[in-house]
Amino acid sequence: MFGCLVAGRLVQTDAQQVAGDKFVFNLPDYENVNHVVVFMLGTVPFPVGMGGAVYFSFPDPVGGQVWQLLGFITNEKPSAIFKISKLKPGEGAEHPFGMMPAPHLASMAQVGVSIEPLEQLVQQTPVPGATVSAVDSFIQFTQKMLDSLYNYSSSFAISQSQMTPNPSEMFIPASSILKWYENFQRRMAQNPNFWKTVQKEKLARWPGDS
């Protein structure tokens, strides 16, 4: 019914059904995980008027598991991305998972989904820092795009002595790409929405660029 995804890993669809309306994913090496995506597989919808509260639990073999509410998914919003890298162990609230046995591995966290009424889900408050804002997502995408373009362009870099004259080809100095890369990063850090005010004709060379 549910899937769980961490960047760079295989999709997990092996949730353990610990109760009729509760499912749990094991999340190994959670220290290396920044974000987690929880989604519906599309095979079984939620019952009418129901959705899934998504929880995260740090491994704590001494004090017992502490669950933190991340958010929820529904038939209308069948997937959600949550940030877990900023969550703090030991900080939790009421949860529906009872006294479940903690994982044996010290690096094994858990992600839980509890099927609950929609009217209850919308009244709950997720733990601070778990929600990924649209601005955060855009900045992450932009950073990946910058890295991809720079790395791809650099893979074709050759020295002037290696160049073969070709009147039909136009060459761009690698230093220009690097300068653009650095300028874009700097401007994004100052204002993630700066690009909305840049005129098209100035995209090639912004004021202040050398």
Q: What is the pLDDT of residues 132-166, one digit of tens each?
A: 655 556 666 676 777 778 778 888 878 878 888 88
pTM of the model: 0.60
Which structure tokens are listed for 113? 């989904």
89 vs 184: CA distance, rounded Å: 36
Positions of the chain with pLDDT lower than 50, given as ranges: 201-204, 206-208, 210
Q: Which residue has the tokens 């877990």?
A: 84
Asked whether the beta carbons of 113 and 97 are under 8 A apart, the reply is no
- pLDDT for res 99: 56
- pLDDT for res 63: 55
146 vs 180: CA distance, rounded Å: 9
**E strand or H helix at 120, and its extent?**
helix 118-121
DSSP 107: T
- pLDDT for res 201: 41
For residue 191, give the 3-state DSSP assignment: coil
